[in-house]
Chains A and B, each alone.
Chain A
């Protein structure tokens, strides 16, 4: 059973470009979460999605950031017109339906904005 997969692992973008981060949850998991980690800090919740629905996006910046989890395919975190402050590690986690417990984390995507 493969774990949570994220790609790319490293992404370099120039200011103003778009960044697309992908997350494939564990098999059988229908809940996906995105977190952001700035250097030397803990993870900060961004968004919680289920298939085709955004459940909680209270941690998402109001502008430039969007997330989706389509019926088919991976979850996508999209950052438009990136700025230097978007440089961080972005982690995806998944959990199975009907549980309130641990989340399984992917290896993360390290975004660097130059």
Chain B
């Protein structure tokens, strides 16, 4: 399996509910980043968490990082229809190249 694997592959929830996506990776990292991609579009950077950080917030987003388990989670609270997108985690091991997972496809139902 690859560095930066997201789980679940697809998630469908009702508007207003919280969405949690997980990411696991294999090697040591400098930082881990979460990106959003709307269908057929480019990537939008959401949040970066460094290896010495455990939790970070940005608006309705909350990211945690557990380096002992080599895992991260992205929580989107009070979801909206506009949050429908694919979400990718990407790890940076210090070589300036990001390693992406396969992504979680999130659908918010009105």
What residues of chain A have their CB less than 8 Å away from a CB belonging to chain B?
31, 33, 35, 41-45, 48, 55-56, 58-59, 91, 93, 95, 100-108, 110
B78 on interface, CB distance cutoff 8 Å: no
A-B contacts, 19 of them at CB < 8 A, read: A31-B96, A33-B96, A33-B97, A35-B98, A42-B88, A42-B100, A42-B101, A43-B90, A48-B97, A56-B95, A58-B97, A93-B43, A93-B98, A95-B96, A102-B48, A105-B42, A107-B41, A108-B41, A108-B42
B-chain residues with CB within 8 Å of residue A103 when the two chains form the complex: 45, 98
Question: What is the number of contacts between chain A and chain B, taking CB atoms within 8 Å?
Answer: 62
Residue of A nearest to B89 (CB): A42
**From B30, B42, B94, B102, contact of A41 by CB (8 A):** B102
With both beta carbons as reference points, the residue of chain B lying nearest to A100 in the complex is identified as B30
CB-based contact B98/A43 at 8 Å: yes
Q: Are A55 and B96 in contact (CB under 8 A)?
A: yes
Q: Does B107 contact A (CB under 8 A)?
A: no
Question: Which residue in A41, A45, A101, A105 is a CB contact (below 8 Å) of B43?
Answer: A105
Question: Are B45's CB and A56's CB within 8 A?
Answer: no
Chain B contact-residue range equals 20 to 34
For the complex, what is the distance from the CA of A56 to the CA of B43, rounded to whole Å? 22
Q: Is the interface of A mostly helix, strand, loop or mixed?
A: strand
Q: CA A11 – CA B80 in complex, angstroms?
A: 34
The answer to whether A101 touches B48, judged by C-beta atoms less than 8 angstroms apart, is: yes
Task: Decide if B64 is an interface residue (CB 8 Å cutoff).
Answer: no
A100–B94 touching, CB < 8 Å: yes
Q: Tell me how far the C-beta of A37 lies from the nearest C-beta in chain B, rounded to whole angstroms.
A: 8
Contact with A along B33-61 (1 / 0, CB 8 A): 10100001111110010000000000000
